Amino acid sequence: MRATAFAALTLAAALAAASPAHAEPVLIDRIVAVVNDGVILQSELDRAIGISVGQLRDRGITNPPENVLRTQVLDRLINTRVQTQKAQEGGIRIDDRELNEVLANIAQQNKMSLAQFAEAVRKDGMDFLAVREQIRDEVLIARVRQQEVDSRAVVTDQDIDLFLANPQNLDDAEYRLSVILVAVPEGATPEQREVARSKALALKVRLDKGEDFAQLAAAESDGQQALQGGDLDWRKGANLPGVFANAAPKLKVGEISGVLDSAAGYHLIKLTDKRGGGEAQTVVETKAQHILLQTNAIRDEAATLAQARDLEKRLKAGESFDTLAKEFSDDPGSKNAGGDLGFQPPGVFAPEFQIRIDQLQPGETSAPFNTQFGWHIARVNERRTRDTSVESRRAKARAAIGQRKSAEEYEVWLRRLRDEAYVEMRAANGTVIEPAAATAPVVEAPKTP
C-alpha cells in the first residue's frame, strides 16, 4: 500500500495581543489530491478554476455549479499531473532556456515582446509565473505524447488506399464542432457502457428541449474541452476522428447529432460552423535556369559583380545562356545542365531567388542580383499549371490518418495512465474522500425517432 501520510500545509500565526500559548494555526494551503508521489494543492486548484472561469466568460458560457466546476478542473489537473510525471519518468525535461524560447514564440505570435506578453497576462488577473509553469506542463505533455503515442500511429499505403476509397474522406471542407463526451473506463462491462449510453441519450433529450450545448458540455462532458464548451475549433473533415468525420458532413450548421459510439464512450456533436471545400488541387511550376557567381580567393565581391554584368551584356548580345552557364556558373548542381533548374513549384528556392523569378515572364532574363549564395543571372523559360490532386490527396490522407490514429490512441493511453495512477482525494479536514461506488441505476433509454 502506497504511503499517504502527506501533512496539510499550515502556518502558526500569533494573534494580536495574545500570548504564544493561545496562538491559533492559520491554514495557508492544503492538499486536495495525492497523485502518485505528488500532490495538488488548493492554491493550484484555485488558480486553475480562476483561469477556467475566465475562459468560460470569454466564450459567453455561464459557469456550471461550483461543485461541478471544481470537479471538472481538478480532474483536468490530475490528468495533467499523471502525464507530466510520465514525461519526467521518461527523462523528458524542459529547462528554463527552452521554456523562454517557447514563451517568446507565443508572444511573437501575438505581436508582443515577452515583457509585453507577461504584462498582458497580469492585466488579465493571472499570475504570470503560474501561466509560465502551465505552459511548461503543456510542452512536457506534447513531448511525452509524441514519444508514447504519436510514434505508434503508423500509416501504411493500404491505410491510404482505404481512406481515399471513401468519398467522405476527400472532403476538403473545414468544420467547427462542439462535443459532449460521456466516457467509459477501459475494459468497461456491458452494464457500465449501458449506464453511459443512457446518460448520453438523456443529455440528447435535454438538448432537444432547448438547453444550451456549450453550457451542458461545461457541466456534464468528460472530454478535455469540457470547460471550453466542448469546442474543438476548426478542423479539416479528413482530420476529424473517424466517428466525427462520418457524422459531421451530414449535419446542418447548428444541428446536433444523435449519440455516437466509440471506444472512448458516447458522444454528442454539434456542427457550430462550416467553411471551404472543393478547392482545386493545382500548382503553378516554373522552369528556370541560372548562372551563379561566387566570391573566391582570387575574385572579391566587386570583381564578381563586374563579371556578372559582363555576362549580362553577352547574353543581351545573343550568346547562349546554356554555354555561358556551363563555362562560368559556380553552381555544381546545375552547371553541367546549362544552369537548368527544371520545373519547380513555389517555395523550393530561397525567398530572394523565388521573388526574382516570379517577376520574370517566360523568355525573360533578369539583371544580376544578389542572394546569400552569391550573384545570379536567372532566366524563366516556361510556366505550367500541374494537377497535383493525386499526390496532394495522398499526402493529406497520410497526415489525416496519422492524426486520427494518434488522437484515438491518445484517449486510450491517457485513460490507461489515469487508471494505473494512485489518486487520492482529500477533504478540507485532511481526511481521505472515498470514491463513490459505481452503483448508478440503469435508466431506460429515451425513445429516438
Strands (E), 332-420: 340-344, 369-371, 374-387
Burial bucket for residue 437 (CB in 10 Å: 0-12, 13-18, 19+): exposed
- The mean pLDDT of 401-407, rounded to a whole number, is 85
Q: Quote the mean pLDDT of the chain.
A: 84
Q: What is the pTM of this model?
A: 0.54
Encode pLDDT of 70-122 as tens digits.
999 999 999 999 999 999 898 888 888 889 989 998 989 888 999 999 998 88
Residues 56, 60, 65, 67: what is their CA dihedral angle, to the nearest 10 degrees? 0
In the chain, pLDDT over 70 holds for what percent of residues? 87
Cα–Cα distance for residue pair 15/278, rounded to 1 Å: 73
**Residue 284 and residue 345 in contact, taking contact as beta carbons nearer than 8 Å:** yes
For residues 217-229, one letter each, b for 16 or more C-beta atoms within 10 angstroms of the residue's C-beta and e for the rest, the string is bbbbbbbbbbbbb
Cα–Cα distance for residue pair 370/353, rounded to 1 Å: 9
* Residue 366 pLDDT: 96
Half-sphere exposure of 328 (CA within 13 A, CB side): 25
Cα–Cα distance for residue pair 90/85, rounded to 1 Å: 9
Encode pLDDT of 312-348 as tens digits.
999 999 999 999 999 999 999 999 999 999 999 888 8
Whether residue 14 has pLDDT greater than 50 = no
Q: Which amino acid type is present at position 268?
A: L
What phi and psi values does residue 386 have, to the nearest 5 degrees? -110, 135
Whether residue 11 has pLDDT greater than 50 = no
**Residue 42 and residue 77 in contact, taking contact as beta carbons nearer than 8 Å:** no
Cα–Cα separations (whole angstroms), residue 188 to 181, 220, 379, 433: 15, 20, 67, 24
Whether residue 430 has pLDDT greater than 50 = yes
Strands (E), 206-352: 231-236, 260-262, 265-275, 282-293, 340-344
CATH of domain 282-387: 3.10.50.40
Cα–Cα distance for residue pair 426/434, rounded to 1 Å: 9
Encode pLDDT of 244-297 as tens digits.
888 888 899 999 999 999 888 899 999 999 887 655 567 889 999 999 999 988
Cα–Cα distance for residue pair 371/375, rounded to 1 Å: 7
**Residue 69 and residue 80 in contact, taking contact as beta carbons nearer than 8 Å:** no
Domain ranges in the chain are 282-387
Cα–Cα distance for residue pair 239/245, rounded to 1 Å: 8
Whether residue 363 has pLDDT greater than 60 = yes
